[in-house]
Amino acid sequence: MDDTSVRELAGVLHELAWRIARLGPAKAGVEPLPSSELAVLRAIMDRPGSSVSEVAAQIAMQSSNVSAAVRSLAERGLVDKRQHQHDRRISVLQPSSRALAEREAIDDAVLGTVTAALTPLAPDSVAALLNAIPAMRELTREVVASGRAAQVTHPEPRNVRQPGASRASAPARPRSPT
């Protein structure tokens, strides 16, 4: 495994993922989401009932960024926030019925796009791509795991009062909407 081949693979995967993420919603007549909001929405769809901190851990994103994405997704009508049934201090996140319907339309559009793109390819190329599915899933799991490890080694910064500073001069800690 040489560095040039891995770099080429990374570039091809990134470009393909970006194009599919843009083409699917466009073909389905749905406004494409920024990548951070898309990641948060996917995490909520994968694990409905998660809290902001659970979503942040799942996708290796800072809680404050997840909160901002959730606010935007809620404003778009794609995420519903509810109080946790046992701990009212915690909000749990659910995909809205609109998000679920749009996801199905996007999935259908992506399927159509990929099917159309596979049609002119040589049968050996199609077979190679289909045979690569298990390896791609394994690669995805490893990328997710390395993202989680990176978040553990670089935890979210906290507003910390400097020694000798009074509470009045300490920076205000933003209130979390969740």
pLDDT in tens, 15-27: 998 888 888 888 8
pLDDT at 20: 85
| 69 pLDDT higher than 90 | yes
Residue 17 to residue 137: CA distance in whole angstroms: 14
Tokens of 71: 């606010």
pTM over 0.85, yes/no: no
pLDDT at 152: 56
Average pLDDT over residues 124-142: 96
The answer to whether 90 and 83 have CB atoms below 8 angstroms apart is yes
Show the domains of the chain with their CATH numbers: 17-144 (1.10.10.10)
Write the single-letter amino acid at 80. Answer: D
Tokens of 133: 């599915």
| 34 pLDDT higher than 50 | yes
pLDDT at 88: 82
- Which of 41, 82, 33 lies closest to 59 in space, CA to CA? 41
pLDDT > 90 in the chain, percent: 51
